[in-house]
Amino acid sequence: MELLYSMGHYFMLAASSNPQEGEPWFFEPFFAYLVRRWDRILVMTLEHFELILVATAIAIAIGVTVGVIISYYEPIAYPVINVTQVLMTIPSIAMIAMLIPLFGIGFNNGVAALVLYMLLPLVRNTYTGIREIEPAVLESAKGMGMSELRVLTKIKLPLALPVIMAGIRVAVVLGVGIGAIAAYIGAGGLGSLIFNGIERVNYPMIWTGAIFISIIAIVLDLILGWGEKRLYRY
Amino acid sequence: MVIKLENLTKIFQPGDAPAVDNLTLEVDEGDTCVLVGPSGCGKTTTMKMVNRLIEPTDGKIYVENEDVSKKNPIQLRLNIGYVIQEIGLFPHMSIAENIATVPRELRWPKQKIQERVDELLSMVGLDPELFRNRRPSDLSGGQRQRIGVARALSADPPLMLMDEPFGALDPITRSYLQNEFLRIQEKIKKTIIFVTHDIDEAIKMGTKIAIMREGKLVQYATPDELLSAPADEFVVNLIGGNYSIKRLHLIRVEEILKEPFTVSPEDSLDEAKEVMEKSQLELVLAVNGEKHLEGLVTPSSLRKEGERVGDVMDTPDLTVDSGATLNDALSVMLTNGEGYALVVGDENRLQGVVTLNAIMEALQDNEK
Amino acid sequence: MRNKWVKRSIYIAILLAIFVGYPWYNIANPADATVARGLMPENVIKYGQDHLVLWGAAILVATAIGVAAGILISRPQFRFVAPVVVNIANIGQTVPSIGVLAIFMGLLGMGFSTAVFALIVYGILPILRNTYAGMITISPGIIEASRGMGMTPYSILRRIELPLALPVITAGIRTSSVMIVGAATLATFIAAGGLGAIIVTGLSVMRDQLFYTGAVMAASLAILLDYILWIIEEEAQA
C-alpha cells in the first residue's frame, strides 16, 4: 500500500506543471543536466562504444572460431555450448569480481567480462548456421574438388553469415547493457553516470545514463538488424 | 435432423461482393449434402454459418426447425460433429484425449468416455490398444483423418459438418477412406453437410449435391439428376464431360454384383473343375463355411500338383470392399490386367464378383 | 530414466556444495579481521536469504502478471494493442538492470521493497513477450477446430492454447529468472541487500577473499536456479 501511495505521489508530481506545488523532477532537471554536462556525456558515450567495439571484435574472433571447431567435432558441440550458456547465467557483478585476479580493475576486466557473455550467441549461431547448410551444397563443393579450407571459407561461412550476424546482433545488444555494470570497476562508459547518480542521489544523472544506454542498444539493434536483413537477400 | 437455410447472405466487408448470396437450401434427415464449387464460391462460409463459426449478415438457418441464431453457440456446436483437414487434431493430446474432447466438455463420467473412445477407434478401423495413447504426430495422414472422424462422432451428434475431410490425402488413401466412411454412414445415418472442391468426391459421397458459384446456388440435385440434366454451362464444365466415366463414381459395386461360383478348400480338384466349367469366368473362389474368402482357383492353378483345392489355390488379390464404386473396381482391374474384381465385406466375407462386362452393361443401362 | 535423475541430483548436489561449502570454508579461515567482519555468518545467511526472497518474489509476481498480460493482449479484442505493448517491452528490455534499479530508487526511494518492485517490472518483459508469441503462433486451424467442436473460450485457453504455448512461456520464465538473479546481485546498490553486498563490500575494502566469496555464491546460486528451472521445463515438455 505504501508503495502504491508513494508511486502515485511521484506521478502526480510529474504531472503537475506548476512548480509551486512540487519540485519538477523529470523533464526540466533532466534537460538542464544534458545541457550542462553534454561534454562529459559525450565522452562517456564514446567510452561505452569503445568498450562494446573492442569486446565485440574479440568475442567474434573467439566465438566464430569455437563455433567452427565444434561444427567439426560433433561430440563436444553440446558440452561447449552448455558451458557458454552457464557463463551467461552468472550475475555480471560476480563475473567481474571473479575476473579481477586475471585482469585487474578497469577497462580490460570489462572487456573480458563482456566477451564471456557474448560467447553464447556467437558460438551457438555459428554452429547452427554451419549445421543448417544443405548437405547437397557441401557435397557438390567437395565433389568439385574444393579443399576443406576452401569449402569453409568460400561456402560454409558465407552461407552461415546471416545466422552468425543474428548472433552478433544479440551479442552486441547484450553487451551494451552489461557494459553499464563494468563501469563499477572503472571500465568507463555511461554506467558511471548511473553508479555516481545513485551515490549522489542525482536523478537526472541516473536517467541520462539509463536512457543513453537504452538508445545505444536500440540504435545498434536497428543497424545490425538492417544489415542482417540485407544478408538474407539471397 | 432437417436443416434449412433461408435467404442466407454473408458480406465480410461492407462494399465487398457477398461471399454467400441469398442462399436457400434444405437438407433432409439422413442426407449427405455436398457443397461443391471452385475456391471462393462460399461453400466453406456457408458451412461455418451452420455452427456459427461465422455469423450471417442476413437470412436464417434452422436446424430441426430451431433458429440457430437464437441458440447458445457452445450448446449448438456440441451437438454438431465437425471434421476438418488433419490440422485440426490437437498435437499435444493423445489420440484418446483428442477423441474425448467433446465428451469432456459435456462432463461425461470417465468410464463412459473411455468406452466411447475405444468403440469409436474400432469403428474407424484402428485398434484401440495400439492407438489410444499415441500422439497425432505418430500417425499417417489417413490415420489422422480417421481420428478426425472419430472425434466428430464422439458425442453421437445427429448432424455432421465435414470441411474437405479427405482433402490432404493421396488419391489411394482418399478413395479408401471415402469408401469406409460411406460404410460407416450406412450404419449411423447422420445428416451431413460436406464441403469439397472435387466434383468426383461430391458425386461419390453425396445423396444431394449443391453446386455453388460466387456465393449463389447454381443447382441442387441428386448426383444422378446432376449428371443427366446439368442446369447450365457452368455445371457442365464443372462435371467436365465424359458422363459415363463420372457414372463410375456413382454406381456402387454392390448394385452389379454377380453370385460367385465357390468351392471349399477341402473339395477335390475335380469338383473344382466341374464348377469352373459351369462358370463362364474360368474363375472359382474358395471359401470356408462362413463365406470367408480363402483363395482363388484359376485354370492355371488347376494344372498344379495337388489333391485338394486348398493345396493349389492362389492368394486372392484384386479385392475391393463392398462400399467401393465401379471406378474403384475398374482401377483394380486395370492395374492387374484382369477382367474381374472380388468384392468382400466385413471380415473378408465374400460378397460377389464384379466383371468388366457387368460394368459396361451397368453404364449402358444408365444411359437410357 | 533413473540415470537421468541420478545425473541431475549429482549436478544439483555439486552446485549446492559450492554454494554452501565455499563461504563456509572462508568464514572458517578469514585472512584478516576485515574479511572476518565482512563474513559474519549471520550476515552471509541474511544476504543469501535476501537474494532468494528477491528472486522468488519477483519471479512469481512477474510470471503471474506477464502470463496474464500476454494472454490478454493475444485475445482478438485486444490484439490491436499488442504491437505497442511488445515494442514497449522490447525497448524496456534495453534499459540496463542497474538503470532499472536506479530509476525505481528515484520513484520509490531506497530499500528492499523498491528492489522487489523493480525486479518484477524488469522480469515481466520476457515472460509477457514469450506468452504472447507462444499464443499467436498456434495454428488458427486448431483454434477453429476447437471452437467448431463447441469448446468454451475458457476450455480452449486451458486445454489447447496454454498447453501448446507452454514451452515458449517456460523459456520466457527462464530468461526472466536469469535476468532477475543477475539484477538481484545489484540490489545492494539501492540498499536492498542480497549477495551483491558481499561482493561490493569486498571490492571497496579490496579483500579478494571477500568479493570472491560473494561472487562464487552469487554465480553458483544463479546456475543452480537456472538448472532447476531447466529441469522443470524439460519435464513439462515430456
For the segment C111-163, what is each residue's pLDDT rounded down to a tens digit?
889 999 999 999 999 999 999 999 999 988 888 889 998 899 999 999 999 99
* Chosen from C144, C149, C158 to mutate, greatest number of chain B CBs within 10 A: C149
Number of Cβ within a 10 Å radius of residue B107: 7
Q: Which set of grid coordinates corresponds to residue C200?
A: 561490493
Quick one: B28 and B119 in the same domain? yes
Considering CB atoms only, which of A180, A197, A198 is closest to C96?
A: A180
Of the options 1.20.1260.10, 3.40.50.980, 1.10.3720.10, 3.40.50.970, the CATH number for the domain spanning A26-231: 1.10.3720.10
- Report yes or no: B90 and B44 within 8 Å, Cβ to Cβ: no
**Boundary of a domain, candidates B182, B217, B248:** B248
* B34 beta partners: B194, B209
Residue B303 has pLDDT above 80, yes or no: no
C-alpha to C-alpha distance for C190 and C111, rounded to whole angstroms: 6
- Report yes or no: A190 and A183 within 8 Å, Cβ to Cβ: yes
Residue C115 belongs to domain with CATH number: 1.10.3720.10
Quick one: B96 and B226 in the same domain? yes
Quick one: B345 and B200 in the same domain? no
Residue B151 belongs to domain with CATH number: 3.40.50.300
Distance between B55 CA and the closest CA of chain C, angstroms: 13
The three-class DSSP label of residue B13 is: coil
| C85 lies within 8 A of chain A by CB | no
What is the tens place of the pLDDT at every residue in B42-61?
Answer: 899 999 999 898 999 999 99
Number of folded domains in chain B?
2
Reference B71, options B58, B54, B52; nearest CA is B52
**Boundary of a domain, candidates B248, B281, B315:** B248
pLDDT of residue A185: 86
Q: Do A206 and C103 touch (CB under 8 A)?
A: yes
Quick one: B210 and B102 in the same domain? yes
pLDDT of residue B114: 92
C-alpha to C-alpha distance for C116 and C101, rounded to whole angstroms: 9
- pTM for the structure as a whole: 0.77
**Boundary of a domain, candidates B231, B248, B265:** B248
Q: Which domain holds residue B283?
A: 254-367
Query: Quick one: CA torsion of A185, A186, A189, A194, rounded to 10 degrees?
Result: 60
Chain A residues closer than 8 Å to C100 by CB: 210
User: C and B: touch, per 3+ CB pairs < 8 A?
Assistant: yes
| B337 lies within 8 A of chain C by CB | no
User: A and B: touch, per 3+ CB pairs < 8 A?
Assistant: no
Quick one: B37 and B179 in the same domain? yes
Chain C residues closer than 8 Å to A221 by CB: 94
Residue B89 has pLDDT above 60, yes or no: yes
User: C and A: touch, per 3+ CB pairs < 8 A?
Assistant: yes
Quick one: B328 and B223 in the same domain? no
Residue B341 belongs to domain with CATH number: 3.10.580.10
Quick one: B264 and B335 in the same domain? yes
Chain C residues closer than 8 Å to A218 by CB: 91, 94
Interface of A with C in 163-192 (CB under 8 A): 173, 176-181, 184-185, 191
Interface of C with B in 117-146 (CB under 8 A): 139, 141-142, 144-146
Interface of C with B in 157-196 (CB under 8 A): 159-160, 163-164
Distance between C161 CA and the closest CA of chain A, angstroms: 29
Reference B23, options B6, B1, B40; nearest CA is B6
Matching residue, cell 540498499: C191
Q: Which domain holds residue C230?
A: 2-237
Question: What is the residue-averaged pLDDT of chain C?
Answer: 90
* One pLDDT digit (tens) per residue for chain A, 234 residues: 455 555 555 554 444 444 444 555 667 777 777 777 788 888 888 988 999 999 999 999 999 999 999 999 989 999 999 999 999 999 999 999 999 889 888 899 999 999 999 999 999 999 999 998 888 888 888 888 888 888 888 888 888 998 999 999 999 999 998 999 998 888 888 888 899 888 888 888 888 888 899 999 999 999 998 888 887 765
Reference B43, options B11, B19, B62; nearest CA is B19
Number of folded domains in chain C?
1
End-to-end CA distance of chain C: 12
Number of Cβ within a 10 Å radius of residue A230: 10
Number of Cβ within a 10 Å radius of residue B83: 27
Could you report the predicted ipTM of this complex, rounded to two decimals? Answer: 0.87
Nearest-Å Rg of the Cα atoms of chain C is 21
The string of DSSP codes covering B301-317 is HHTSS-SBHHHHPBPP-
